[in-house]
Amino acid sequence: FGPSQIGRGGDTTVLIDCGWGATLRLYQAGLGPPGLPRVGAVFFTHLHSDHTTDFADFVVMRWLGGVDAPLPVYGPEGTANMVEGFRQALSADTRFRLAHHGEKLSPIGTACDVREIAAGDTPVEIARIGEIVVSAFAVDHRPVIPAFGFRLERGGSSIVISGDTNPCPGLINGARDADILVCDSMNVGMMEAFEESLRNAGNSLAASLLVDAHTYHASTRDAAEVAAKAGVKHLVLSHVMPAIPEEGPQVEAFTAGLSDLFPGRITVGRDLQRFTLPAA
């Protein structure tokens, strides 16, 4: 499914990105209603469709789960326009549900409190959601400008979400000494083999589009080198390109050679996987 991560600490839950299938995965993770209303805020790294298109499903299911306040949403320039577009698309549904269920549902409907953010190469605090402090930093996903990564901190523990990016100063600074770095990752050799298979199958357009993806996604080696430079403890490879099975030889192939670059723990992320850090 599409890129999306949950960060939880104490009584606080935040959602980073909301790609295709995210709401279904939240249900499968045991976070469906009444869990969805407890998501304290949503953060978007950037506005590519694979990171955003399930937001309509999320925000309406959150409302139906029972809410009494607008949803805080943080993201780059353009986030307010995107959120309003989703809400407009849902406006007939909202009207029909209020007419049917009346006072059982909050009159706020799918309302959101959107805050468009800015950040540079040095992480800057943008929100405190319950016990979780969220900082943003700029990443290099050109021509997608701006694009951000996020650092979540609570009780001395830190998790960094890279978003989509090439190696860049913002990513290294944002990931400095993090307990976990969840990083964009492409195995170049495996990706090139996949592209060739598409060409051989007569799908040259798809292959050419994937060739373009090399210009703005970190390779697995890039991710390992960034983790080493930043002093990260645990590298979780995410946004896995090309898609691979969750188990088997392709997982090992995806990480081949990375331990020579990064001495810490390396994991190829998979849907519904959970990592736990102690609170100081």
Residues carrying an active site annotation: 50
**Contact present, 142 and 168 (Cβ < 8 Å):** no
List the structure tokens of 218: 């970190």
Q: Is the distance from CB of 139 to CB of 168 less than 8 angstroms?
A: yes
Tell me if residue 96 falls in helix, strand or coil.
Answer: helix
- Rounded (5°) CA angle 109-45-127: 70
Q: 261: how many CB neighbours lie within 10 A of its CB? A: 18
Residue closest to 210 by CA, chosen among 255, 238, 242, 240: 242
Phi, psi of 246 (to 5 degrees): -75, -20
Query: Half-sphere exposure (CA, 13 Å, Cβ side) for 135?
Result: 20
